[in-house]
């Protein structure tokens, strides 16, 4: 478990204290150092209104949480998608850790209700502001890492984030070959193989025809100006067939 210094005590109202007890019950994680959790939900506007009190905002935790998310999501994708290239993995990870996705995660966990805001930020709708919610989610991950280590973060993501990847929530950023691979892996239906059926046309205007097979059975045929494009079109046709048959 990483070393974490003690965060200075927060002088919260009874309602605020109770909210953080509720939050820990909601996520089924009790912090050893509750101050870290509170700091993760403390916006700079709140700190600015309590200058005489020992508050710290969540910006440093956000920085740490961003790095922890990158690492844990990268590890998960690396282990799950063994045929994906570095570029495809990077693109998929970017879709998972981008601001719109983090905002969705924060909304689903109802993190907005627990944020400590200054009056001005509260009045202008800060509690639902996308950038603020994304920052809070990252800061929470940072606080969880400091308090309980990487494995607890992975356990948390395994409950709330990784299942979304498994369910195809981010497949729109994957190419057809990757989507087909994911679909087959998810349903454990067998192995995929691509074969070039035909090459035709002059050298400056070649056309390739490819087929994709699942357990030796042809699922799709596609054509294109390159072998890669032909395989993509074959995978697209195969995906449509598999999705239609699974309805």
Options 62, 135, 138, 147, the catalytic residue? 138
**Model confidence over 205-219: pLDDT tens digits?**
889 999 999 988 999
Give the residue, 191 or 38, on which the prediction is more confident.
Answer: 38
Q: What angle do CA 168, 163, 75 make, to 5 degrees?
A: 95
For the chain, the domains span: 14-172, 175-245
pTM of the model: 0.75
Q: Which of 163, 212, 174 is nearest to 87 (CA)?
A: 174
Residue 119: how many other CB atoms lie within 10 Å: 10
Task: Please indicate whether residue 66 is annotated as part of the active site.
Answer: yes
CATH architecture entry for 14-172: Orthogonal Bundle (1.10)
Annotated catalytic residue: which of 34, 57, 66, 147?
A: 66
**Class at the top of the CATH hierarchy for domain 175-245:** alpha beta
Nearest-CA neighbor of 41 among 132, 110, 116? 116
Q: How far apart are CA 221 and CA 213, in angstroms?
A: 9
pLDDT tens figures, 54-112: 568 999 999 999 999 999 999 999 998 877 788 889 999 999 999 999 999 999 999 99
Does the annotation count 138 as an active-site position?
yes
Measured CA to CA, the distance from residue 36 to residue 152 in angstroms comes to 15
């Amino acid at each position: 478990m990483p070393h974490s210094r003690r965060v200075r005590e927060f002088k919260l109202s009874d309602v605020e204290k109770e909210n953080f007890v509720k939050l820990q019950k909601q996520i089924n994680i009790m912090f050893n150092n509750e101050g870290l959790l509170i700091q993760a939900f403390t916006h700079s506007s709140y700190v600015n209104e309590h200058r005489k009190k020992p508050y710290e905002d969540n910006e440093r935790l956000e920085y740490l949480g961003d790095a922890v998310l990158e690492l844990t999501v990268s590890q998960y994708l690396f282990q799950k998608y063994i045929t994906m290239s570095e570029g495809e993995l990077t693109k998929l990870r970017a879709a998972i850790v981008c601001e719109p996705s983090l905002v969705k995660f924060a909304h689903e966990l109802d993190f907005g209700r627990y944020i400590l805001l200054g009056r001005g930020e509260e009045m202008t709708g800060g509690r639902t502001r996308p950038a603020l919610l994304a920052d809070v989610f990252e800061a929470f991950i940072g606080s969880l890492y400091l308090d309980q280590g990487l494995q607890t973060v992975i356990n948390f993501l395994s409950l709330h984030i990784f299942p979304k990847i498994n369910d195809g929530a981010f497949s729109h950023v994957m190419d057809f070959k990757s989507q087909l691979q994911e679909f087959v892996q998810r349903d454990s239906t067998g192995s995929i193989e691509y074969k070039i059926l035909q090459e035709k046309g002059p050298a400056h205007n070649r056309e390739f025809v490819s087929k994709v097979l699942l357990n030796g059975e042809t699922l799709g045929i596609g054509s294109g100006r390159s072998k890669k494009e032909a395989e993509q079109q074959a995978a697209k046709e195969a995906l449509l067939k598999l999705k239609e048959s699974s309805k």
